[in-house]
Structure 1
Amino acid sequence: MTTHSRPERVGQEIQAAIGQILARGELRDPRIGFITITGVKVSPDLRVARVFYSMIGTEKEREETQKGLDAAKGYVRREVTSAVNLRVSPEIFFSFDESVGEGDKIDRLLREVREKEGW
């Protein structure tokens, strides 16, 4: 028995396909900065894929990147469908992943405590 469900496996394939698109530089929108795809959550019926990304930058840069990604949804959807070979083309939504920034904040706070307490 496998440890992954079908939506999780499809999500991993979609994440790899989008990573390839980004690595080849196919998204030429200047609003899209350097981003990292941190995960993909796919609905049980495989019709919706929520793509989570992270980036370093200001709030304004994040908003511009979101606008650029939203504008590129159609292209990304077409490329993902051909790369993953799905019967139904999933609708793609991009969401900023807040967890990376929160993790950095927690790590910084723990380092400050270690320095003060001498751990």
Structure 2
Amino acid sequence: MIDRTKRLETLFLEEINTIISRMIASGSFSGFITVTGVRISKDLASAKVFYSVFGSDEDKKRAAHNLSVLRGEIGALLRKRIHIKRIPSFSFEIDDTPERASRVEKIFSKIEKSHEAEK
């Protein structure tokens, strides 16, 4: 079951990226969004789609709104593209890993500079 879940997560990741890319190209969606991961529950009933947005806080708010509005349309497109018995209901959650990594990198940089200053 774990192998199947992992394969489905990879498939959903690819398909949702494709759908969003097409929506951006057609103009029905704006912004620079990357789907970074998909986590499907053990019972295959629900899924969390993690995404990151390149831009300001306003861009992130707009992207979250657009994804919530287009969630039904994206789900319908997934049903057409993926042939499994039941498509899990999914929610979109922002992936803040890049921001956290940036903060950690800044902290390490400050520590390194303070050590160099002490020498």
Q: Same fold (TM over 0.5)?
A: yes
Equivalent residue letter for 2:93: S
Q: Which runs of 5+ in 2 are unaligned?
A: none
Counterpart in 1 of 2:60?
Answer: 62
Q: Partner of 2:87: helix, strand, or coil?
A: coil
Counterpart in 1 of 2:105?
Answer: 107
The 5-angstrom pairing of residues 69-80 of structure 1 reads 69-80=67-78
Counterpart in 2 of 1:81?
Answer: 79
* Larger RCO (CA under 8 A, 6+ residues apart): 1
Greater gyration radius = 2
Contact 2:33 2:53 (8 Å CA) reproduced: yes
1:95 shift after superposition: 0.5
Q: Which ranges of 4 or more aligned residues in structure 1 deviate by more than 6 Å?
A: none
- TM-score (norm: length of structure 1): 0.82
Q: CA RMSD in A?
A: 2.1
Residue 57 (structure 2) pairs with residue 47 (structure 1): no
- TM-score (norm: length of structure 2): 0.82
Distance 1:77-1:5 versus aligned 2 partners, 3 A rule: same
Aligned equivalents of 2:105 and 2:60: distance in 1?
A: 22
Equivalent residue letter for 2:35: I
Aligned equivalents of 1:75 and 1:39: distance in 2?
A: 19
Aligned equivalents of 1:18 and 1:9: distance in 2?
A: 14
